[in-house]
């Protein structure tokens, strides 16, 4: 670390960061694993250059940095200012949700490498502030339309981790009964819809929910989340246009992480600020640092108030970055190491924790309590998911058709 790095915590140099957390997150193969069946630390013990071992050790390096939520960062990214209308209790509760997102994500990444669940895993690490800070402020019966990288949308709104873990594992205790792609997080009781595989379906659904609220005269609001790449999809434009015409109670969030799978932003849009797109729809657009919790809080709070008071939609572009591949089957070698490192230095969690320390709200003891509670919830959630059954083939068409399909016995599956 250079001189410009701030050092905030006593004994930081001596003590390895978040040692307890790392110990708990150590990769343990399940008891049932045959030798060689699951990844172990040995895979990366002596990597040859350019080998798979090299790649895995780099993944692990990033993961151990990610879970050190009070690590040092360049002074230029230090936060200052206020969180409008946010109580001290709320600031700490929000911090705990962000830590939960980070540690859960790191844990799921390891469990995926161990083969504990199938398919793939879409990591949100680096982008947590963009969705959780908004949905944390919503009422439980408000509507959230998340996308495929929006673990935070559900956790911010209070969905317990056990349901989300069962979703990743495709088990019957998932709200979808274990019949859908991993990381498409939702829970109907918390007003969070399940993202569809087709990008921006959620944008349209949230717009429809906002239209419904307006027609029924309710004071609810909706929020929709999408990526930079998704703003080139027709549904983005149709949804925004409709919301502008009818001044709907909705907050639209673009999480601009510079890439859509391997497609760079400059091949998606010629704009520098994607919030400029709002001009075409007749409502305000704003671009902010999506890794600055204070900026995200203040912008989303204002947009939610605007929506709830009947003034109409807002489009917020949050500039952010995913630390890992599009999903965990993507090595993301289309990005440069320098680009990744530059964004890792802007990690939203250490920036927010340093601000909380400056405000006198966070100390080592408080942090220890947060990490302990979060780790306990994660482990309980993993146990819950792993002991939940896999769905049987007979459930394949359950809840697909409202009534039986002509010529087909839905219950019998034939
Ligand atoms: C209509 C549609 N087209 C393509 C895909 C495949 N797909 C899934 S995610 C994705 C990239 C989305 O990029 P972006 O909107 O920037 O979100 P990010 O993954 O970066 O969070 C693509 C192309 C899809 N699911 N639906
Ligand atoms: Mg993107």
According to the model, what pLDDT value does residue 64 have? 97
Q: What is the pLDDT of residue 30?
A: 45
Q: Does 56 fall in a domain?
A: no
Ligand 1 within 6 A of CB of 230: yes
Helices (H), 225-363: 234-245, 293-308, 337-344, 348-358
For the four alpha carbons of 293, 294, 300 and 304, in that order, the dihedral sign comes to: positive
Beta-bridge partner residues of 263: 260
Instruction: Please indicate whether residue 199, judged by its CB atom, sits closer than 6 Å to ligand 1.
Output: yes
For residue 200, the CA-to-ligand 1 centroid distance in Å is 9
Centre of ligand 1 to C-alpha 370, Å, is: 34
Residue 29 lies in a domain: no
- pLDDT for 84 equals 98
Does residue 79 sit within a domain?
no
- Residue 45 falls inside a structural domain: no
Q: Say what the pLDDT of residue 396 is.
A: 81
**Which ligand has the minimum distance to the alpha carbon of residue 326?**
1
Mutate to test the pocket of ligand 1, among 152, 200, 227 (most ligand atoms within 8 A of CB): 227
- Catalytic residue, chosen from 62, 233, 306, 322, is 322
**246 is annotated as an active-site residue:** no
For 192, the token pair is 């969070």
**60 falls within a domain:** no
Active site residue 322: yes
Q: Is ligand 1 within 6 A of the CB of residue 257?
A: yes
Which among 36, 19, 299, 255 is positioned nearest to 147, based on CA atoms?
Answer: 255
Task: Look at ligand 1, atom 20, and give the residue with the nearest C-alpha.
Answer: 260
Contact of 346 with 73, CB cutoff 8 Å: yes
By most ligand atoms within 8 Å of CB, the mutation choice from 146, 261, 277 for ligand 1 is: 261
The residues of the chain scoring below 50 in pLDDT are 1-26, 28-47
Q: Which numbered atom of ligand 1 lies nearest the CA of 231?
A: 15
Segment 239-273, tens digit of pLDDT: 999 999 999 999 999 999 999 999 999 999 999 99
* 326 is known as an active-site residue: yes
Name the strands in the sheet holding 250-256, side by side, starting at the edge strand that comes first in the sequence: 143-145, 222-227, 250-256, 314-319, 285-289
Ligand 1 close to Cβ of residue 195 (< 6 A): no
Number of domains the chain contains: 1
What's residue 403's pLDDT? 62
- The answer to whether residue 21 sits within a structural domain is no
- Domain of 206 in residue numbering reads as 85-395
The catalytic position among 107, 306, 326, 351 is: 326
Q: 105, 180, 230: which to mutate for ligand 1, most atoms within 8 A of CB? A: 230
| DSSP assigned state of 74 | B
Radius of gyration of the chain measured on its C-alpha atoms: 21
How are beta strands 259-260 and 263-264 bridged, if at all? Answer: antiparallel
Q: Is residue 61 part of a domain?
A: no
As a whole number of angstroms, the distance between CA 252 and CA 249 comes to 10
Longest distance between any two alpha carbons in the chain, whole Å: 73
The pLDDT of residue 8 is 42
Q: Is the CB of 184 under 6 A from ligand 1?
A: no
Q: Which residues contact 89 (CB under 8 A, 6 or more apart)?
A: none
Query: Residue 347 belongs to a domain with what CATH number?
Result: 3.40.50.970
Q: Give a yes or no: residue 148 inside a domain.
A: yes
Which pLDDT belongs to residue 404? 61
Tokens of 201: 């379906």
From the candidates 10, 334, 373, 405, which is the catalytic residue? 334
């Amino acid at each position: 670390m250079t001189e410009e790095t701030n050092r905030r915590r006593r004994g930081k140099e001596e003590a390895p960061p978040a040692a307890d957390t790392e110990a708990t997150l150590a990769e343990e193969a399940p008891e049932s694993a045959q030798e060689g069946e699951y990844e172990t630390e040995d895979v990366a013990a002596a990597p040859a250059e350019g080998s798979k071992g090299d790649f895995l050790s780099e993944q692990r390096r990033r993961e151990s940095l990610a879970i050190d939520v009070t690590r040092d960062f360049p002074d230029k990214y230090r936060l200052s200012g206020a969180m409008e209308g946010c109580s001290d209790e709320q600031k700490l509760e929000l911090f705990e949700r962000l830590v939960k997102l980070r540690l859960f994500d790191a844990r799921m990444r390891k469990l995926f490498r161990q083969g504990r669940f199938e398919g793939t895993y879409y990591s949100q690490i680096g982008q947590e502030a963009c969705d959780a800070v908004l949905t944390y402020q919503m009422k439980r019966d408000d509507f959230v339309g998340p996308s495929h990288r929006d673990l935070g949308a559900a956790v911010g709104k209070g969905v317990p981790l056990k349901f989300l873990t069962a979703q990743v594992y495709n088990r019957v205790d998932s709200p979808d009964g274990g019949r859908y792609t991993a990381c498409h997080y939702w829970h109907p009781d918390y007003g969070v819809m399940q993202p569809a595989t087709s990008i921006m379906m959620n944008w349209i659904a949230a717009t429809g929910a906002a239209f419904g609220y307006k027609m029924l005269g309710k004071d609810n609001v909706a929020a929709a989340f999408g990526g930079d790449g998704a703003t080139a999809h027709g549904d983005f434009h149709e949804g925004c246009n409709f919301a502008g015409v009818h001044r709907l109670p909705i907050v639209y969030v673009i999480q601009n992480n510079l890439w859509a799978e391997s497609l760079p932003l400059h091949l998606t849009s010629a704009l520098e600020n994607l919030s400029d797109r709002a001009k075409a729809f007749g409502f305000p657009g704003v671009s902010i640092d999506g890794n600055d919790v204070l900026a995200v809080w203040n912008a989303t709070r204002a947009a939610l108030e605007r929506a709830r008071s009947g003034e109409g939609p807002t489009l917020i572009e949050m500039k952010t970055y995913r630390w890992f591949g599009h999903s965990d089957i993507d090595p993301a070698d289309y990005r440069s190491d320098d680009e990744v490192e530059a964004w890792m230095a802007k990690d939203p969690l250490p920036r927010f924790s340093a601000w909380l320390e400056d405000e006198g709200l966070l100390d080592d003891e408080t942090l220890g309590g947060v990490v302990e509670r979060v780790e306990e919830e994660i482990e309980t959630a993993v146990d819950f998911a792993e002991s939940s059954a896999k769905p049987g083939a007979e459930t394949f068409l359950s809840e697909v058709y409202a009534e039986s399909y002509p010529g087909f016995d839905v219950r019998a599956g034939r």
